[in-house]
Amino acid sequence: MKKTLKIVVLAKQVPDTRNVGKDAMKADGTVNRAALPAIFNPEDLNALEQALVLKDMFPGSEVTLLTMGPGRAAEIIREAMFRGADGGVLLSDRKFAGSDTLATSYALSRAILKLNPDIIVAGRQAIDGDTAQVGPQVAEKLGWPQITYAEEIVGTEGDELIIKRRLEHGVETVACPLPLLMTVNASAPDCRPRHAKRVMKYKYAKTASEAQEASTDYDDTLRKERPYLNITEWSVADVDADDAQLGLAGSPTKVKKIENVVFAAKEAKRLSASDSDIDSLMKELIASHTLG
Amino acid sequence: MNNVFVYCEIESGKVADVSLELLTKGRVLANTLGCNLEALAIGHNLDGIEKELAPYGADVVHVADAPELAPFRTLPHAAIICGLFKEEKPQIALFGASPVGRDLAPRVSSALHSGLTADCTSLEIGDHTDAKSGTTYTNLLYQIRPAFGGNIIATIINPDHRPQMATVREGVMKKEVAKTPGKGIVKKIDASKYLNDTDFVVRIIDRQIEERKINIKSAPVIVAGGYGMGSKENFAILHELAEVLGGEVGASRAAVDAGMTDHARQVGQTGVTVRPKLYIACGISGQIQHTAGMDGSSMVISINTDPNAPINKIADYAIVGDVMEVVPKMIKYYKQNSK
């Protein structure tokens, strides 16, 4: 086993679909994305923690967060740096728009080849799609083994990493040499919080595009003096990806139709909590053999 | 060639319910398409497995049987499936949206560049005309699934790539013995021609599988609690009602996320899909994420302090009141008046 590891965390900025409020749907029935806050995908935070655990086990290792998304996704790279990541890469290009999981996995795998890590840690799935496909698909693209539903890195045994996995009805402990890709479950430990000193250190970290938008002399000087404040931003050309495998054209799956969910209106019989209402309901349920 | 395939999950010599549910659905799809339904069983000690699969309509059962193929490991199973699919060229391949299926299917779809839709709630056959090119495709698999936290329902197709792959959660499709059983012809797979040493790089050191303790799927009555229950302690009253009525306790994602009860009890899009005779929703607001997993219930009673809770839109009876007040009354009446 190497003394230090190059660790890549795959993460995604997602709309917070768990907190869909009343204003989340527009009057015409379409999703109002603006009303949904963009958050660090929850299981990707569990993944970041496992990467930081690895860094604790192998001091001197380097944790890099890799995300694909629009410019504002750099927010989760900064968040990861506040919590312990050494840096990040934003993969951003209009050509990625409309990519399904397979095209996304291809794009990510191109960036990973350039980063050349020893291990990849990803969240099991993102809450906006809940597919859990990107981790295994990236592993396949790289020809690496995958350890899904990881809950704990138990330790090492020779050249192998020992990982505990959560299955539907139990646990499994596996051993696997590097390189490997692991996806981490929500049942794994929560991510450590932001570290005050790291927040001070990295709060001005920006991608080149962000720096361009909000350029001040102070900012520009700071970034020249402290190279760690420059968040790497890569386009399709930077990772030498094949356009034909990206975006809508590179996606085998196509969306044929989107329907907004509208409840079929049905009139519920209204009852109160009074003894007589409850008793007559129960009487009815027993009489109709719904109960008993 | 060009048949419908179902990957069958086998745990401790038993075929998983989700696989039998997929065979039931696969049979319907194969009948519509006029093709065969073929099952794929990979594991060890699988003699006679076809007798379990044929009643659900499997015409052919492909069997790869070797000690190193059980328990399940991703790489060897994926290598066998990819090898077989390259030869058999299925038009449709279905996997359970179980931990095994959700681990395996993306790996296979990536290797075959075939496209995959996760967690479908409905599968249908239909046509499609591409608006741009004007090309018409016939007999595509419509893969229908909720997205965006259940707020939209998307129909996904794979026009140009085969197999059309989809995963489906346990309990979403019905498990039904076919009217005419399949022939269940066994075709032994020579697994060695698809496998390399590198496929066995992951070693299983320890495995502890618990028998499924909580089984809310087959309960005739489900008493489910939501975030409105307020605490883990308050769930006790739901357990009492469920026990009296001969049912099970379910929960919404919000209640499970808040640590009020076990994940195995979660009903909804990311939990279990249930169709009980009676569903009693206690302190559940009725987000689509939840109702997607219970709107097939024969009867729904909601108990909620909010008269405008969305759950009331799909409820047969909406009791406006406090769960902690209403449920004890139900228990009391039932105890006194049932035989």
Residue A135 sits at the chain B interface (C-beta within 8 Å): yes
Q: Domain A6-254, what architecture?
A: 3-Layer(aba) Sandwich (3.40)
- Going by C-alpha positions, the residue among B38, B82, B113 that lies closest to residue B193 is B82
Which DSSP helix (H) or strand (E) runs through B101? helix B99-112
Lay out the sheet containing B37-43: strands in order across.
Answer: B116-120, B164-168, B92-96, B4-8, B37-43, B60-65, B185-188
C-alpha to C-alpha distance for B50 and B40, rounded to whole angstroms: 10
Contacts of B317 in chain A (CB under 8 A): 268-269, 271, 281
- Compute the 3-state secondary structure of chain A and give helix, strand, coil in percent, each to the nearest 5: 35, 30, 35
Cross-chain residue pair B321–A273, CB shorter than 8 Å:
yes
Residue B18: partners with Cβ closer than 8 Å, 6 or more residues away: B9, B96, B97, B98, B101, B168, B169, B170, B171
Cross-chain residue pair A278–B310, CB shorter than 8 Å:
no
- Going by C-alpha positions, the residue among B209, B182, B191, B167 that lies closest to residue B10 is B209
C-alpha to C-alpha distance for A87 and B219, rounded to whole angstroms: 50
Average pLDDT for B206-219:
80
Quick count: other Cβ atoms within 10 Å of Cβ A97? 10
Residue A279 sits at the chain B interface (C-beta within 8 Å): yes
DSSP labels, A125-181: --TTT----HHHHHHHHHT--EEEEEEEEEEEETTEEEEEEEETTEEEEEEEESSEE
C-alpha to C-alpha distance for B252 and B293, rounded to whole angstroms: 10
Average pLDDT for B164-189:
94
A288 has which bridge partners? none
pLDDT of residue A169: 79
Place of tokens 């969910």: A261
Cross-chain residue pair A253–B160, CB shorter than 8 Å:
no
Contacts of A156 in chain B (CB under 8 A): none
Length of chain A in terms of residues written: 292
Instruction: Read off the pLDDT of residues B11-63 as tens digits, 9 standing for 90 and up.
Output: 888 999 999 999 999 999 999 999 999 999 999 999 999 999 999 999 999 99
The structure's pTM equals 0.83
Cross-chain residue pair B160–A171, CB shorter than 8 Å:
no
Half-sphere exposure of B293 (CA within 13 A, CB side): 30
Residue A146 sits at the chain B interface (C-beta within 8 Å): yes
C-alpha to C-alpha distance for B281 and B326, rounded to whole angstroms: 12
Residue B111 in tokens: 């290797």
Residue A133 sits at the chain B interface (C-beta within 8 Å): yes
- Going by C-alpha positions, the residue among A127, A136, A144, A117 that lies closest to residue A46 is A127
Residue in A101, A130, A283 nearest the CB of B270: A130
Residue A197: partners with Cβ closer than 8 Å, 6 or more residues away: none
Confidence label for B160 from pLDDT (cuts 50, 70 and 90)? very high
Rounded to 10°, the helix B99-112/A134-142 angle is 50
User: Could you say which DSSP state residue B261 is in?
Assistant: S
Euclidean distance between the first and final Cα of chain B, in Å?
58
The strand pair at B152-157 and A254-260 is best described as: antiparallel
Q: How far is CA A213 from CA A72, A79, A88, A93, A207, in A?
A: 12, 20, 19, 17, 10
Residue B142 sits at the chain A interface (C-beta within 8 Å): yes
Rounded to 10°, the helix A42-57/A74-83 angle is 40
pLDDT of residue A264: 47
Residue A15 sits at the chain B interface (C-beta within 8 Å): yes
Amino acid at A43: E
pLDDT of residue A20: 61
Q: Any idea where the domains of chain A sit in the sequence? A: 6-254
Contacts of A277 in chain B (CB under 8 A): 319
Residue A98 sits at the chain B interface (C-beta within 8 Å): no
Choose from A159, A171, A256, A286 for mutation: most chain B CBs within 10 A. Answer: A256
pLDDT of residue A36: 78
Cross-chain residue pair B107–A146, CB shorter than 8 Å:
yes
Q: Which residues 51-80 of B have a C-beta within 8 angstroms of A?
A: 71, 74-75, 78
Distance of CA B291 to the CA centre of its chain: 16
Residue A210: partners with Cβ closer than 8 Å, 6 or more residues away: A71, A74, A231
Residue B336: partners with Cβ closer than 8 Å, 6 or more residues away: none
> Do B13 and B100 form a contact (C-beta atoms < 8 A)?
no
Instruction: Read off the pLDDT of residues B270-320 as tens digits, 9 standing for 90 and up.
Output: 888 898 889 999 999 998 889 989 988 889 999 999 999 999 989 999 999
- Going by C-alpha positions, the residue among B263, B227, B221, B264 that lies closest to residue B243 is B221
Q: Is the pLDDT of residue B98 over 80?
A: yes
Local confidence pLDDT in tens for the 292 residues of chain A: 889 999 999 999 998 876 665 566 666 555 666 777 899 999 999 999 999 999 999 999 999 999 999 999 999 999 999 999 999 999 999 999 989 999 999 999 999 999 999 999 999 999 888 899 999 999 999 999 999 999 999 999 999 999 999 987 789 999 999 999 999 998 899 999 999 999 999 999 999 999 888 778 888 888 889 999 999 999 999 999 999 999 999 999 999 998 876 544 457 889 999 999 999 999 888 877 788 6
Residue ranges of domains in chain B, CATH in brackets: 4-200 (3.40.50.620), 221-337 (3.40.50.1220)
Contacts of B128 in chain A (CB under 8 A): 256
- CA torsion, ordered A125, A130, A131, A133, to nearest 10 deg: -10
Residue A193 sits at the chain B interface (C-beta within 8 Å): no
> Do B18 and B98 form a contact (C-beta atoms < 8 A)?
yes
Chain B nearest CA to A231, separation (Å): 29
pLDDT of residue A266: 57
DSSP labels, A209-273: HHHHHT--HHHHHHHHH-GGGEEEEE-TTTTT--GGGSTTTT-S-EEEEEEE--PPP-PPEEEES
> Three-state DSSP class for B241?
helix
Residue A254 sits at the chain B interface (C-beta within 8 Å): yes
Q: Please provide the average confidence, as pLDDT, over all residues in chain B.
A: 93
Residue A43 in tokens: 């299981």
- Going by C-alpha positions, the residue among B265, B284, B287, B251 that lies closest to residue B217 is B265
> Three-state DSSP class for B20?
helix
Place of tokens 């239909």: B126
DSSP labels, B3-16: -EEEEEPEETTEE-
Amino acid at B269: Q
Residue B14 sits at the chain A interface (C-beta within 8 Å): no
Residue A144 sits at the chain B interface (C-beta within 8 Å): no
- Going by C-alpha positions, the residue among B290, B313, B21 that lies closest to residue B175 is B21
C-alpha to C-alpha distance for A198 and A27, rounded to whole angstroms: 43
Residue in A168, A256, A277 nearest the CB of B98: A168
Residue B178 in tokens: 């076919």
Q: Which residues 33-62 of A have a C-beta within 8 angstroms of B?
A: none
Cross-chain residue pair B106–A291, CB shorter than 8 Å:
no
Cross-chain residue pair A127–B149, CB shorter than 8 Å:
yes
Contacts of A147 in chain B (CB under 8 A): 202
Contacts of A31 in chain B (CB under 8 A): 148, 151-152
Tell me which of B218 and A267 has the higher pLDDT. Answer: B218
Torsion B2-B7-B8-B10 (CA) sign: positive
